[in-house]
A and B are shown apart, each in its own frame.
Chain A
Amino acid sequence: DQQVKQNSPSLSVQEGRISILNCDYTNSMFDYFLWYKKYPAEGPTFLISISSIKDKNEDGRFTVFLNKSAKHLSLHIVPSQPGDSAVYFCAATLQTGANNLFFGTGTRLTIIP
């Protein structure tokens, strides 16, 4: 049951450049999307979210884009910093505040100094 997919298990980006992490979903009923970041030996940490009524949300260096027709979202990090090296999880839910988050399998981002 892969309702949320992150097809790139890993990504390496030069420091200062843009990191683009991608996520696809299959359930058209998803209403709210989130990105979480995870360091080793820590739990996932909320990064940024977007409601299905929007196509873009920006918070500092992080921007999430949502393309509902393509069932695709992406996270852009500009500029990338070494501290951004982590595993990034895309997640979706059927409504804002719903109990059940559906996670992707994650993308390991490595920022090369």
Chain B
Amino acid sequence: EPEVTQTPSHQVTQMGQEVILRCVPISNHLYFYWYRQILGQKVEFLVSFYNNEISEKSEIFDDQFSVERPDGSNFTLKIRSTKLEDSAMYFCASKEGINEKLFFGSGTQLSVL
């Protein structure tokens, strides 16, 4: 079965540094998402992306966050200046159509020191 691929699986960074989390959604999918899960807490929506623009974002997704689809296959999440509270598992997800099921990647564990 096709899958959403995320790299790296683990990322350690210093507070204040920029990080880019990378995702390769399933090739024929049109809707792209980032979610995150802080340890012990629920999975939370960050942002959705469709037709080369953000379609919806949560309160978490402030000016420090940005997303990009630089080419036809990659979908990235950038955190400009990381904070300790950004430490979490970040999940990329994609789906083929608006009413189709969502496929998640295996996540990138971000640790901000």
Contact = CB atoms under 8 A, between A and B. Distances in A.
A44 B91 contact: yes
B45 A42 contact: no
Given A46-B101, A101-B35, 14 more contacts: A43-B4, A43-B91, A43-B103, A43-B104, A43-B105, A43-B107, A44-B43, A44-B91, A99-B33, A99-B48, A99-B55, A101-B43, A101-B102, A103-B42
Interface residues of B, number: 27
Interface in A11-59: 36, 41-46, 49
B42 A99 contact: no
Interface in B63-107: 91, 93, 97-99, 101-107
A88 interface: no
A105 interface: yes
B58 interface: yes
Interface in A77-113: 89, 91, 96-97, 99-106
Given A43-B105, A99-B56, A100-B56, A106 B42 contact: yes
Contacts of A102: 45
Contacts of A45: 104
Interface of A: 4, 36, 41-46, 49, 89, 91, 96-97, 99-106
Contacts of A42: 106-107
A46 B56 CA distance: 21
Given A99-B33, A99-B56, A100-B48, A46 B102 contact: yes
Nearest to A42: B106
Contacts of B44: 103
A104 B102 CA distance: 16
A41 B106 contact: yes
B40 to A, nearest CB: 8
A4 B43 CA distance: 11
A91 B33 CA distance: 15
Contacts of B28: none
Contacts of A44: 43, 91, 104
Contacts of B45: 99-102
